[in-house]
A and B are shown apart, each in its own frame.
Chain A
Amino acid sequence: MSDIFPKWTNRLPALVLAGVAVMGTAGVAGAWYYFTPKYTRVGYQPIQPVNFSHNIHVDQVGLDCRYCHNGVEKSWYSNIPSSTLCMNCHSQVLKDDPRLALVAESATTGKPIPWVQVHKVPDYVYFNHSVHVNRGISCVHCHGQINQMDEVRHAQPLSMTFCLECHRDPAQKIRGLEHVFDLNWQAPSPTAQIDEGQRLVEEWNVQKLDNCSTCHR
C-alpha cells in the first residue's frame, strides 16, 4: 500500500507545537518589552517651540526650580511660568536674541507659547505635585535629572508599577525637605537613605497608600 501521507508528516504535530511555542515566546517577549511605558514613554523628547535649557538655568545659573514653577508647593500641578516671568531677566539678558523672540512676543501680547507637554499621565490619574514635594519626594524621582537636560526628556516610565514601588515603601525615596529641589543631592549611602527615610516616614506619619482611590477617583 502506497503512502497517502509522506513520511515526514509524522513529525508534523511536533513541528507545529514547536512553531507555536517559538512564536508564542516571541510574542510574549515582544509584548513584555514593548507594551510598557518603559518603552512607550521613556525617551520622549519633543521639539519645543523655544529651545529652553534647564541645564543652563538650573545648573549653570543656579535658579531654584520654584523660581519658575512657583505653584508646585501649593498646587496639584507644577505650573509652566508665564512668559512675563521669563522677561524678569530676559528684558535685559539676551534682550534681542532671536531665540527668545517668541517669549518676548508672548509676554507682550499674551498669546501663549505652545509648549509641548512631556510628562502626561492618563486623565484618570490624579497626581498631586504639592503633596509629594512637601513630603520629601524630589523632582528628580519622577522627572530624572532635569537640571542636566538641555531638552527635557521623559526619563522615568511613570507607569503604575513605578508609582506603586514607592507607595509601598516610601522610605526608600523620601528625603529631607531641604534636598527636595536639589536634584544633584544623593543620600550618602543606600543604608543612610533607608535610615533617614524611615525616620521621616515616622515623623511625618507617611502612610503606605496603595489602594486604588489614592490616585483614581
Chain B
Amino acid sequence: MRYFLAGVALFALIVVSVAGFRGGLSRKPPIEIFPDMDRQAKLRPQTGEGFFADGLSSRTPVPGTIARGQPHLEIPLNTGREPGTTNFVEVNPMPITAELLARGRERFTINCAPCHGGQGDGKGVTSKLGMAVVGNLQDPRIVQQTDGEIFTTITGGKNLMQGYGPNLPIADRWAIVAYVRALQLSRLASLDEVPAELRASLNQKP
C-alpha cells in the first residue's frame, strides 16, 4: 500500500510538472478536449485559412459595384459637394442638434484628438511622438473652409493625413464637422455672444 500511494503521488507530481497550473503561460493554442463541432467548415471574418487564394475571408467589393445599403447617391450628404459640380457644400446637411454635437464630440475624441488634440489645435499626443505636421483646426485657413470641404478632408484625407472614410460612417463624419465648428467657435466667440447670466461662470475654474 505504501508503494502504491507513493506511486500515485509520483504520478500526480509528474502530471503537475508536465501540465503546470491553471493560467500558466502557454504559447500553443488551447487544447480542445471535446472538439465536437468546435471548428466548423465555414468562413469567419478576418480568418486567413480557407477558401480564397489570397487568404482574405472578408472580401473587398468588386470594382465598380456598391454593396446594398451603402451610400451611392450623388447628394451633398454623401459627397460633401453640390450635385453635378466639384463645389463643396457650404453648410452641414445634417440637422444640428445637441445629440449630433455629443456624437461628434465622442467620435472626434476617438478618431481625431490623438493628433489634432482635444481642442483641435494640433497638439495631440502624437505631436510628442514624432508626428511632424498636424493641421491646426483653429487656423483661420480651416475656419474659413466650408463644411463640405472639412467633410471631404475627413473622408479622403489631405497631405499626410489619410482618409477616415473607411472607418467613420457618413453621419459620424458630419457630426465631427459640427463639433469642429463648435470647437472653433469656442475660441472665436466674443464675450457679447455669451448669454449674460453665464458670463460670470467663464472665470470659474472647472
Contact = CB atoms under 8 A, between A and B. Distances in A.
Interface of A: 15, 18-19, 22-23, 26, 30, 33-35, 37-47, 61-64, 66-67, 70, 77, 79-80, 82, 84-85, 87-89, 91-95, 110-112, 114, 117, 120, 122-124, 153-154
B114 A22 contact: no
Contacts of B19: 34, 39
A79 B54 CA distance: 19
Contacts of B25: 43, 45, 153
A70 to B, nearest CB: 5
Contacts of B33: 35, 40
30 contacts: A19-B4, A22-B5, A30-B12, A34-B19, A35-B33, A41-B30, A43-B25, A44-B30, A45-B25, A61-B126, A61-B129, A63-B114, A64-B109, A64-B110, A70-B167, A80-B46, A84-B162, A85-B167, A88-B161, A89-B115, A89-B129, A92-B126, A92-B130, A93-B129, A95-B130, A111-B54, A112-B55, A122-B38, A123-B38, A124-B37
Nearest to B162: A88
Interface of B: 1, 4-5, 8, 11-12, 15, 19, 22-33, 37-40, 42, 44-48, 54-56, 109-111, 114-115, 125-126, 129-132, 160-162, 166-168
Contacts of B166: 82, 84
